[in-house]
């Protein structure tokens, strides 16, 4: 029950105080430039990485990115910058 009220309260605050949803709802913010550059903020950690796949833990589920020639340009506790040829970005629910 507490989870439900927390969600309702966050939704109300977001709507009435004009705060960005990604901040209040603890959602990832994803910025892509074409299919060669992706910047993800507000993730919970790196699960797997190879030159063809990146998997990040989110508050709810995971983010899977597939492609070719991946290189991590920047990695911080809640931010990551990935470059390469991005073919697919998928949200995986737990």
Q: Which pTM value belongs to this model?
A: 0.75
Say yes or no to pLDDT of 21 above 80: no
Tell me how far the alpha carbon of residue 65 is from its chain's centroid: 10
| Per CATH, domain 27-92 is 2.130.10.10 | no
- Provide the residue ranges of all domains of the chain, joining segments of one domain with +: 27-92
Task: Please report the pLDDT score of residue 25 as a whole number.
Answer: 64
36 CB-near residues (< 8 Å, 6+ apart): 83, 84, 85, 86
Q: SS3 helix, strand, coil % of the chain, rounded to 5?
A: 20, 50, 25
pLDDT, tens digit (0-9, with 9 covering 90-100), for 1-12 = 566 776 676 676
> From its phi and psi, is residue 42 left (phi > 0), alpha (psi between -120 and 50) or beta?
left
């Amino acid at each position: 029950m507490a989870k439900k009220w927390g969600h309702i309260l966050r939704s109300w605050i977001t709507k009435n105080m004009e705060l960005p949803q990604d901040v209040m709802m603890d959602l990832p913010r994803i910025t892509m430039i074409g299919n060669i550059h992706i910047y993800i903020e507000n993730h919970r950690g790196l699960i797997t990485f190879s030159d063809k796949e990146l998997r990040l833990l989110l508050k709810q589920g995971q983010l899977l990115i597939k492609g070719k020639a991946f290189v991590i340009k920047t990695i911080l506790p809640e931010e990551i910058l990935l470059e390469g040829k991005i073919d697919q970005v998928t949200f995986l629910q737990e």
